Amino acid sequence: MKISYHILKEKTLINIKFKSSLNAKEFNYVKKQRHKEIASIQGLVSLFCHYNEETEYIGGLFIFNDLQSAQNYLSDFLMIGLGLRYGIIANTLNIEISSLKEEIKGLNHGSRI
């Protein structure tokens, strides 16, 4: 059994999580309206959206080509009021920035769940 492992060209991760004052229908509407805008973010490789049903935290894990692109996105997020669109409850906002160094693929990465 071959394990797929390799060192990546360094990428920058931003993990944003928060609680929202919007209900699920309102939140999903806002998110859907931004799909094209999100896809055109300079330097964005991927965005994984997540939701924790126990804590009711919503989030996004952004992967950027470089730190500068990630910082530019965060500046826009904070300065042009994207948080307001999502109904972010200020004291719940948590932003983490880190570097992606390597990837190990799961043995079942090609199978469907």
Number of CB atoms found within 10 A of residue 66's CB: 14
Q: What's the pLDDT score for residue 96?
A: 95
Domain boundaries, the chain: 8-100
Strand order in the sheet with 94-104: 44-52, 57-64, 5-18, 94-104
pTM, two decimal places: 0.82
Instruction: Render pLDDT for 51-60 as a digit per residue (tens, 0 to 9).
Output: 888 999 999 9
Query: Domain 8-100: which topology?
Result: Alpha-Beta Plaits (3.30.70)
Q: Which residues contact 31 (CB under 8 A, 6 or more apart)?
A: 49, 86
Reading the block at residue 77, the tokens are 């997020």
- Residue 43 binned pLDDT confidence (cut-offs 50, 70, 90): very high
DSSP 2: P
Residue 40 pLDDT > 80, yes or no?
yes
Helices (H), 40-81: 67-79
